[in-house]
A and B are shown apart, each in its own frame.
Chain A
Amino acid sequence: MNRINRLFQNKNKDILNIYFTAGYPGLNDTEKIILALEKSGADLIELGMPYSDPLADGPTIQESGQVALANGMTLKTLFNQVQSVRESSEIPLVLMGYFNQVMQYGEERFFKKCAEVGIDGLILPDLPMDVYESDYKKMIEDNGLTISFLITPQTSEERIIKTDELSNGFVYMVSRSSITGAKSDIENQQIEYFNRVNAMNLQTPKLIGFGISSNETFTTACQYANGAIIGSAFIKALPKEGAVESAVEGFVERILGKVSNVV
């Protein structure tokens, strides 16, 4: 069974999913960060493929992508790093990136390679659901990968149902109408949206992301979904140079409330 589905079978609440950009801050930090995240208690990792023009991302993730590309990060290197880390890690890995990257690698070749190196799932925010259904669903399923589509406060009920049908890892509940890394408290308006979606009793687990940055916001998000996704705040916590391990561990401990939020 796919590691993502196994995770949700064994644990259905308080799931901590951490996003970071592969090859940031250093080209060879990818594996170190994955291992440190696993050790310190993250449940799931979203590995970002750095992209020159990430439309849905705010400055923090954009800049980390620029640094990673300048470090020489490529898809080939990324796949090698994942393959290597799989010798010592079983944490579920979701690859997140833009559809153009998949297209240039060759869609079928890309999905095969993901499965081969030990990627479990995909998030491709600019791949439309109808194109996925007609052109790629079978290819992705045949390679044993999951896919997660996004919903936002503006997504219609009909479309949420469709998202639930097509997503098979988790549904990515974008907490607010924004790019990544926006301001970080959870307001009443968002809670109403979370409640509205919860009342629909979706079959797929849900993770809330965008603007989750602290123990407080993580805990709140976990009340309304199976867990939450943290990206920009984690990237900000990484040192620009030097060893990453202690920063990773300290961050996860703060989010999980194992130490006080005050550093």
Chain B
Amino acid sequence: MTYKIDPRGYYGEFGGAFIPEMLYPNVEYLRKNYLDIINEPAFQKEFRALLKDYVGRPSPLYFAKRLSAQYKTNIFLKREDLNHTGAHKINNTIGQILLAQKIGKKRIIAETGAGQHGVATATVCALMGIECIVYMGAIDIKRQAPNVARMRMLGAKVIPAISGSQTLKDATNEAIRDWINNPEETHYIIGSVVGPHPYPDMVALFQSVISEEMQWQLKEQTGSPDPDIIVACVGGGSNAAGAYYHYLDKENVRLVAVEAAGLGVDSGESAATSVLGTKGVIHGSRTLLMQTEDGQIIEPYSISAGLDYPGIGPMHAHLIDSGRAEAVSVTDKEALDAAFHLTRIEGIIPALETAHAFAALDKIKFSEKDNIVVNLSGRGDKDLETYIKYLDEQVDK
């Protein structure tokens, strides 16, 4: 059994390309060509060089001594927060901008939640001199203001999505509509392992550099390339997909997927898709999503804009549905507390998304000799306003 994509574009029963005809020519072109383009030696050479010299890879694998001592185990942090632009998102945008150039596209669109993917897209567009339009939910524009400013400085046009819950789902809808209206010149850089095939696999491949490095870094530091457990937060699931990728078919490595429970899984204000979701189609892919009996998509909620999404990528739907990965849900408050804890014990301010992964350490079982990798998907500069507000509230109490 493999947990990677099958030749039809599915992970088990999840995936596929459920798209209107208007999108078909572009998506079909990608489907037919993405592997050939990515695997070309010249493409790989350029991709690897940019990851090294521009992004700053390899990202360190840091043994978190004090955190490990406290949890009585061995915790390694994969430092994606140290990448240029501050998150894992740029691994994917570097790959996709090179691909867009190869296929002759002159205009880039993207959706963003936390703004990290928007910034990473605006960055590579500036680097290549290509026009960039980013759709972002109106609510996210407010709660991730520093990233909006960065995108504007980089020359991208940020367009608010004002429909629905005005968050990531709606930004994705608007980006898809833009692509329908502008099929010829435009490439859509999706920011996570979601969307119609081949996007989930393409984004996972670009992010797989994370686990590729983990293998040799762990070997150096522990003597074995395999950790016992990998923990990552899941919005759409791209940082998790990258951290799991080379371990997907090694069943001795436990995979933990951390979702945002918002105010609590049963509160009605949540984004814990694997608990609350059922099988359906969202953004062109058959996966798990939060929906009513009538198939209307339910507006999710999380304090973290990057996890505030009613679906998960089809790879993760399959991993969780088949029991290969464990899903853990973490509330807003647990994530906030974990962010402060990590900051004060290791001197690293994580993104709110990433903080969910650290909160999961209180919820999973492990032993003293286990080697656990937590994917530190991004840094928390963009979330300082939220953090400081929380800090002030604690002080007031």
- How extensive is the interface on chain B, given as a class? 20 to 34
Q: Say whether B12 faces chain A, with CB atoms less than 8 Å apart.
A: no
Which partner residue on chain A sits nearest B8 by CB separation? A130
Contact A128 B19 (CB under 8 A): yes
Contact B16 A131 (CB under 8 A): yes
B184 to chain A, nearest CB (A): 8
B322 to chain A, nearest CB (A): 20
- How extensive is the interface on chain A, given as a class? 35 or more
Q: Name A177's contact: one of B164, B181, B283, B292 (CB within 8 Å).
A: B181
Bound: A10/B24 CA distance, A: 34
Bound: A66/B164 CA distance, A: 9
A39 to chain B, nearest CB (A): 31
List chain B residues, Cβ under 8 A from A182.
181
Contact A126 B25 (CB under 8 A): no
Bound: A51/B297 CA distance, A: 8
List chain B residues, Cβ under 8 A from A127.
18
Q: Name A62's contact: one of B20, B21, B163, B294 (CB within 8 Å).
A: B163
A184 to chain B, nearest CB (A): 14
Contact A100 B180 (CB under 8 A): no
Q: Say whether B279 faces chain A, with CB atoms less than 8 Å apart.
A: yes
List chain A residues, Cβ under 8 A from B282.
53, 100
Among A30-38, A40-48, A139-147, A149-157, the one that faces the other chain is: A149-157
Contact B279 A126 (CB under 8 A): no
Among B47-55, B110-118, B127-135, B169-177, the one that faces the other chain is: B169-177
Contact A174 B164 (CB under 8 A): no
List chain A residues, Cβ under 8 A from B181.
177-179, 182
Contact A99 B177 (CB under 8 A): no
Contact B183 A154 (CB under 8 A): yes
Bound: A41/B19 CA distance, A: 33
**Which A residues, 155 to 186, have Cβ-Cβ distances below 8 Å to chain B?**
155-156, 159, 174, 177-179, 182
Which partner residue on chain A sits nearest B22 by CB separation? A152
List chain A residues, Cβ under 8 A from B207.
none
List chain A residues, Cβ under 8 A from B312.
none
**Which B residues, 248 to 307, have Cβ-Cβ distances below 8 Å to chain A?**
278-284, 291-297
**8 tightest A-B CB contacts, nearest first:** A104-B295, A150-B21, A125-B20, A101-B295, A52-B296, A100-B281, A56-B20, A154-B25
Interface residues of A (CB under 8 A from B): 51-53, 55-56, 58, 62, 66, 69, 74-75, 98-105, 125-128, 131, 149-152, 154-156, 159, 174, 177-179, 182
A-B contact pairs, 20 of them (CB 8 A): A52-B297, A53-B282, A55-B177, A55-B283, A62-B163, A66-B163, A100-B280, A102-B295, A104-B292, A126-B19, A128-B16, A128-B17, A150-B21, A150-B22, A151-B21, A152-B22, A154-B22, A154-B25, A155-B25, A177-B183
